[in-house]
A and B are shown apart, each in its own frame.
Chain A
Amino acid sequence: MMWRALRAEGMRLKPAARWLPVISSGLFIAFMALEWYLYFKGPAGVYSVFNVMYMFLGFIMLLNTALLAGMIAGLEHESNSWKQLLTLPVSRAVFYWAKALWVLVLLLCTVLLITAGLLLLWVCYTSEPLPFQFLIKQIVYSFLASTAVLGLQMWLSIQFSNQAIPMSIGLLGAVSGLFIARDSGAALWTWVWPWAYPTLSSPFMAHPGRWIGISAGLGMVLLAAGTLHFKNKQF
């Protein structure tokens, strides 16, 4: 059933949701190239791209999570489709998870495109050795640490029929993540601030694994709670 739900979800995906990973990763790479071109000259400067990524990777992942969840859930609100879908002999949980998985898949596409773009940029720009493992870690960690926000955004986007609300929350959260990145230590409140996790789980930080674990755990709890709430939702 899950497989069929995933296929049906893919069929009705809005073009904007398909293009978002391409456009966002394209902009991200272009931004990196610009920084390189303008500020980081010379063989040593080339490595500062990792610092710039540290600042912005979390932001782009969190923003994409909010936008994708908003587009994928918002489609059913705006097309008035919940009542049609939920009177099919398919469990509500299946719909909820199919949507969450599609957000994950599209985030994964963003990860792959950013990785590929950076490799290409590196090869074109410099002949310095590339710390490949570090690059992969940096990108993949920020993706894995977005799970908590995914759980939260799915919940909000399904409950609110007006997507301006969850998307604004997502944007503000992602911006807050930028500031946390500038703050060196992890203050106590960042423990419960899901938008801090992608920055905190950078390989530059002390315990990336811990934050990924917390994010994944919280993400699962939020997804389970969201599913339960959705099962009892009335239309």
Chain B
Amino acid sequence: MPQLIVETKGLTRRFGEQVPVNEVNLEVPEGKIYGFLGPNGAGKTTTIKMLLGLLRADAGTIRMFGQEMPENSLDILRKVGSLVENPSYYGHLTGYKNLKILSTLLKLPDRRIGEVLEIVRLTSSADRKVSGYSLGMKQRLGIAAALLRGPQLLILDEPTNGLDPAGIQEIRHLMLSLAHDQGMTILLSSHLLSEVDTIADEIGIISSGRLVYQGALELLERRRGKVLEFAVERPEEALRTLLLQGFAVERKGNMLSVSAEKASMPQAELLKLLGPYGIMNVREISKSLEELFMELTGTGVSL
């Protein structure tokens, strides 16, 4: 069992009547990419702000690197790079100067600035004022700022916001290399499962302030159900037989949809059962991860 870099217990935050973060037990293992997912307003940013000491928790505890947060915030923050929501930048200064301010505060050598600019590919725009940057460039500058101190834990809140497909791809590669080559732990929030499912090792899904799923991505994949669709000649009788056997069936004309909760559904058994009723066609439909995500978060059809 790898060490947990971030561990919260019963983390709760209220805003008046609202409870945007409700008893959340987050567990981010060392060296892993943790995808923190949830629809708009689920409480991702609020949770991240509490981890970083920007907001106080109303209840619960936070341990990072084995130390209590916010009691040991200076020790902990030394090892954490972060980007929360939209990036922070001084528009009247150049990209280089923006990073220089941070490196001065962090007591880092100037060489580091060049390195991170190279990583996010802003070297050629480093001497331009940030007010003239595009949204994607500002986002990259924010990521560069988070990487500046060479953190052991990187917390990025919707880092691909405003990036084009090539930019998103680049950021993914960057995350993979940071996690796998340098052993960095990365907590990454997003409202799209498809955005993190190619890189995340661990997934946490938050919905209306509650953590509804946490664990490895493979386990989540296994949970998605399958539906078998049969077109049969005598649907009435077939339906009766299946219902008697305890299957969950829906009928539409001569189509029967049998939902199988377990991946190890005995397809052969079904075929044998339905054989006498004249099977014309069989189709297997598996729910997409995205559908599963929506089921878990109860958001239904997306906009």
Contacts and interface: CB of A to CB of B under 8 A. Distances in A.
B56 A234 contact: yes
A84 interface: yes
Q: Which range contains the number of B residues in contact with the other chain?
A: 20 to 34
B55 A234 contact: yes
Contact of B80 (A11, A79, A87, A91): A87
Interface stretch (A2-10, A155-163, A220-228): A2-10
Contacts of B91: 79
B106 interface: yes
A90 interface: yes
A75 B54 contact: no
A79 B90 CA distance: 6
Q: Classify the interface of chain A: helix, strand, loop or mixed.
A: loop
Nearest to A88: B105
B78 interface: yes
B78 A89 contact: yes
Contacts of A176: none
B107 interface: yes
B92 interface: yes
A90 B75 CA distance: 10
Given A4-B105, A12-B101, A235-B54, A89 B77 contact: yes
Given A79-B88, A89-B77, A11 B101 contact: yes
B267 interface: no
Interface residues of A, number: 24
Interface string B164-200: 0000000000000000000000000000000000000
Interface in B96-112: 97, 100-102, 104-107
Nearest to B107: A4
Interface in B49-74: 49, 52-56, 73-74
Contacts of A91: 74
Contacts of B102: 8, 84, 88
A85 B101 CA distance: 10
B92 A87 contact: no
A17 to B, nearest CB: 11
Interface in A76-120: 79-91
A14 interface: yes
A89 B88 contact: no
Interface in B208-261: none
3 A-B pairs closest in CB distance:
A84-B88, A89-B78, A81-B88
Given A89-B106, A90-B74, 10 more contacts: A8-B105, A80-B87, A81-B88, A83-B54, A83-B84, A87-B52, A87-B53, A87-B84, A88-B105, A91-B74
23 contacts: A7-B104, A11-B93, A11-B97, A11-B104, A12-B90, A12-B93, A15-B92, A79-B90, A80-B86, A83-B54, A84-B88, A84-B145, A85-B105, A87-B53, A87-B80, A88-B77, A88-B102, A88-B105, A90-B74, A90-B105, A234-B55, A234-B56, A235-B49
